[in-house]
Amino acid sequence: MRILVLWLAMVMLAGPAPAQGSGKLTPLPSGPALLDWVRTTLAELLDGMTGIERDDNPNVFIVRTTDPALPVFALTALEQGPVATEVLTAEFISRFRASCDPLRRRGELAEYAIFFEIHTVECPRSTSRANYYWIMAYKDSDRAQLIAMVGNIEHAAAINARGDRFAAVLGMRIYPTPRSLPEALAVAQAHAGDLHEYDPSQFSLLGEGRARLRVKSMILTGKPGTWEVTAPSCSAVRMREIEDGPPVTVDSEITIDLQRLATLVTRQGPDLVLRAGAYGTLTRLVSSPNPMTIPLAVEDGSLAPDSPNHAELDSLLLAWERFCATASPVSGLTVPAPAGAAPSMPSTTSRPLP
């Protein structure tokens, strides 16, 4: 059944019939034929469409729909040679990267030589507007292709829903999204926010800001156990790392003030800018008769996404942004030019979406 799903996925994204039998991606068509490819191949993304028009950029289309949650969005389709999907995605967002938060992996499908990967990214500092991107890159051994939707950041949920329906047709696994502060904190602490590792069936919301997450491997000992989270408020978070018995052992206790963290850690594009200070404590209880408490603190500086502590701090800051901060939606949408396309492709689009 798995092979059948993968074969259907390749047929769906392949070109003319002669190439479909090979189970390989075919080059994207150019000129007017690309619009026909978009209409037929990406039908799930065009549900409720009332009109589609080519933008000044030949690989970008403006789609209007009857959906009040997503009345207009931009759709991009482009291709490169045999590069990794993460390379194609990085090149696509490179021209506007400084205005965007870190990339978030949303889903994947990998089997044999076929690989699909979905990322989303919020770009709250796109000029005077805030944009949201849903990006699916996929490849075989010969070429990589990319499909992206961009809309106002206030329409992020609708963009995800539309993209995820399309991904479901391909049999892709969509990562779960934390729905509460305790869940976001549990995932942040147990998996550094990596939803690829998170199994929501192991999470229990106990009420009154309390939750429990079972994990296969604890941070300090590598043994199975449970993370307990108590978060009556964003400024009073307490977490315990409890190792399975016998005997049941509390390995560590952590306190975090997310409000304080948000004053010390801010975003500058995908990087984190740090101002020196403490935002909590860690008490190590395992293998020691005398518990040792150390401050959780940051020093002045900045962290790039590939820095050792970036994932942990980013996941905690993201929990604060989603469940503690008050967001102000920004209207409007600008469609940046996709990177990684043919050399003749213009570098920017000349007009914003209405």
Write out pLDDT tens, residues 206-215.
988 999 999 9
H-helix or E-strand spanning residue 262: helix 258-264
Do 139 and 190 lie in one domain? The reply is no
Provide the number of structural domains found in the chain: 2
Residue 110: pLDDT band with limits 50, 70, 90: confident
**Cα 236 to Cα 104: distance, rounded to the nearest angstrom:** 27
- Please indicate, yes or no, if residue 308 is contained in any of the structural domains: yes
346: pLDDT strictly greater than 90? no
% of the chain surpassing 70 pLDDT: 83
Out of 144, 174, 204, a domain closes at 174
349: pLDDT strictly greater than 70? no
Do 158 and 187 lie in one domain? The reply is no
- Sign of dihedral through CA atoms 328, 332, 70, 161? negative
- Residue 32 near residue 46 (C-beta atoms within 8 A): no
Distances (CA, A) of 253 to 125, 228, 257, 294: 37, 10, 14, 11
- Residue 169 near residue 44 (C-beta atoms within 8 A): yes
114: pLDDT strictly greater than 70? yes
Residue 341: pLDDT band with limits 50, 70, 90: very low
- Please indicate, yes or no, if residue 332 is contained in any of the structural domains: no
Judged on CB neighbours under 10 Å (0-12, 13-18, 19+), 346 is: middle
Pairing of strands 72-80, 104-111: unpaired
Domain carrying residue 256 = 181-323
The listed range with the strongest mean pLDDT (19-23, 102-106, 332-336, 341-345) is 102-106
Do 159 and 283 lie in one domain? The reply is no
- Please indicate, yes or no, if residue 281 is contained in any of the structural domains: yes
128-154 pLDDT, tens digit per residue, is 678 999 999 999 989 999 999 999 999
- Please indicate, yes or no, if residue 27 is contained in any of the structural domains: yes
230: pLDDT strictly greater than 70? yes
Q: What are phi and psi of 121, to 5 degrees?
A: -150, 135
CATH of the domain at 62: 3.40.1000
Mean pLDDT of all residues in 154-159 = 96
Do 10 and 149 lie in one domain? The reply is yes
Do 203 and 245 lie in one domain? The reply is yes
**Cα 222 to Cα 216: distance, rounded to the nearest angstrom:** 8
Do 285 and 214 lie in one domain? The reply is yes
Do 160 and 258 lie in one domain? The reply is no
343: pLDDT strictly greater than 90? no
Do 113 and 23 lie in one domain? The reply is yes
Do 238 and 186 lie in one domain? The reply is yes
Sequence-ordered list of residues with C-beta below 8 angstroms from that of 172, at least 6 positions apart, any chain = 107, 108, 109, 116, 118
- Residue 314 near residue 321 (C-beta atoms within 8 A): no
Do 170 and 186 lie in one domain? The reply is no
